[in-house]
Amino acid sequence: MRWALVKVCLAVTTMVVAAFAVPLGLVIQEMARDRAFSNAERHAAGMGPTLSITTDRAELTRAVATSEAGGEGRMAVHVPAVGTHPALTIGERRADPRAVAATRGQGRARTVTVPGGYALLQPFAVGSGEIAVVEIHVPEREVSNGVTTAWLVLAGVGVALVIGSVAVADRLGVRMVRPARRLVGAARDLGEGKLGARVPEEGPTELRLAAVAFNSMADQVVGLLANERELAADLSHRLRTPLTVLRLNTASLGDGPAAEQTRAAVEQLEREVDTIIRTARDAKPRTVAAGPGAGCDAAGVIRERMEFWSALAEDEGREARVAGVERPVWVPVARADLAATLDALLGNVFRHTPEGTAFAVDVHSGDDAVIVLVSDAGDGIADPEAALARGGSGAAVGSTGLGLDIARRLAESTGGDVRVGRSVLGGTEIRLWLQRGTARPSAGRRAARAVVRRRGRRTPAR
C-alpha cells in the first residue's frame, strides 16, 4: 500500500509538472525571441529620421557608426538609386539582395534567416519617395538569451516538487500502513492463541474503526472462551457426584481381577475429571510441548495403556498385539495428551467392534517422525473423510464423534496428521503421524510411504 501510494503520487506530480513546466518553458522561449526582434526594430527605427532627411553616403555612414547596432557591426542600410546617384549599401550586409528587393517592393518589414542568426529588414521612405531598407542582424544567442537558464530553473523546480510530493506521500503511506501492519500482526497473534493481542486505536478513520472493531472482537473471543472453560469445568464437576457413588459401590465388589480393574478404572476416571477441571480453569494448552526437550516416551505410554486395555480385551476374548515399543520413542507431546488419544482410539475399537475382534498397536520410529498405527479386524469405516471431521463419526451409536478429532488435533500440533484406512487385519487402521522437530511434511510422507511398503498395503489419501 505504501509503495503504491508513492508511485501514484509520483506519476501524478510528474504529469502536473510536465503540464505546467513545458508550456511555461515554451512561453519563455517565445518571449526571448520577441524581445530580441523588438530591440532590432527599435534600432532600425532609429535610422528612420536620418533616411527621411538625407541619403548622402557620408552622413549615413556617420549615422550608422554612431548607432548602437551599427557600432556592434549589426546594421546595414540599403539605399536605392536616386536620380544620378547610384544605389549604395552602408554597413555589413548579411541578407540576400533578393530578400532586400522583396522588402522594398512589399513595403513592409520581414525577418529572414542568415548565417549566425536572423536579419530584420525594415523599409523606410527617403526624400525622393524611394524605399530604403535598414537591415539589423539578430544573433542566435540573443534570440535564445536566458532560455537555457529558464529551462534549468523549471527543471529544478519540477524535480523539487516531485521529491517533495514523494516525501509527503511516503509519510502519508507510513501513517496508513503502520496501523494496518499492527492490525495484521494483532490478528496473527490472536490466531496463534495470544488472547491479549490488541491494536492501538489510531491512524486514519477507517483503520481506527477497524482497530476498534478488532479489539471488540478480541474481547468477545476472550469472554466466549472464558465462558466455555467455565462451562467445561462445571460440566466436569457434575460428574464427581456419580463418580463418588460409583467408587463407593466398587467397595462392595470384593476382591478379584475384575473388581480391581473396576476400581482402577474409577480412580483413573476421577483423575481425568480433575485434570479436565484444572485445565479448564487454568486455560493452559497442554498439547504443544513446552520447549526444547519437552515431550514423552511414546513407547512407555503405549505399553502402559495396552496393559490396561489388554486386561479388558482378555475378558472379551480379543487378541491384542503391540509392536515397536521395545525401545524408548520420544515424541513432542505431553504424556497425558498421548495417553488420552490412545484411550480414545482404543476405546473406539471396544465400542464399535463386536467382542472377539482382534486389534493391534504398531509404532514405527524415524529420524523426523513417529507413526502410531491402531488397527482392528472389524468392519472398517465406510467414509474416512467424514470420520476425520469433528463430530463426523458421531452417527455411530454411543459415539460423540470427537475421538478421531482428539487424535487429529494432537497430530497437527506437531505438524503431522491422521489418516484412516484399511488395516491388514481387515478392519480400520488409524495412522497417527507425529512429526519431530522441524521436519518437512514431505519427509513425513516419505516415512509414511516406507511404512506402507513394509506393511504391504495402501493407505487411502485424505
Helices (H), 73-204: 97-106, 140-143, 147-191
Phi, psi of 254 (to 5 degrees): 80, -155
Question: What is the model's pLDDT at position 330?
Answer: 92
- Comparing CA positions, the residue from 307, 332, 328, 339 lying closest to residue 411 is 332
Phi/psi region, residue 356 (left: phi>0; alpha: psi -120 to 50; beta: rest), is left
| Per-state percent for the chain, helix, strand, coil, to nearest 5 | 60, 15, 25
Phi, psi of 409 (to 5 degrees): -65, -35
Q: What angle do CA 295, 296, 301 make, to 5 degrees?
A: 150
Question: What is the model's pLDDT at position 431?
Answer: 93
DSSP assigned state of 82: B
Nine-digit cell at 279?
485445565
Question: What is the model's pLDDT at position 47?
Answer: 85
DSSP assigned state of 128: T
How many Å apart are CA 121 and CA 118, to the nearest integer? Answer: 10
Q: Is there a contact between 147 and 29 (Cβ–Cβ < 8 Å)?
A: yes
Report the number of secondary-structure helices (H) and strands (E) in the chain: 15, 12
How many Å apart are CA 76 and CA 39, to the nearest integer? Answer: 15
**What 3-state DSSP class applies to 202?**
coil
DSSP assigned state of 353: S
Question: What is the model's pLDDT at position 291?
Answer: 45
Question: What is the model's pLDDT at position 246?
Answer: 74
> Taking the CB of residue 275, how many other CB atoms lie within 10 A of it?
14
Nine-digit cell at 394?
458421531
Quick: pLDDT tens for 242-292. Answer: 766 677 677 777 777 777 777 788 787 777 777 776 666 665 444 444 444
Q: What is the dihedral of CA 53, 58, 60, 66, to 10 degrees?
A: -120
- Comparing CA positions, the residue from 92, 74, 80, 72 lying closest to residue 51 is 80
Question: What is the model's pLDDT at position 238?
Answer: 63
Query: Model's pTM, two decimal places?
Result: 0.43
Query: Which segments in the chain show pLDDT lower than 70?
Result: 1-6, 83-84, 128, 230-241, 243-245, 248, 277-294, 389-403, 437-462
How many Å apart are CA 280 and CA 289, to the nearest integer? Answer: 18
Question: What is the model's pLDDT at position 191?
Answer: 83
Nearby residues of 400 by Cβ (< 8 Å), 6 or more positions away: 391, 394
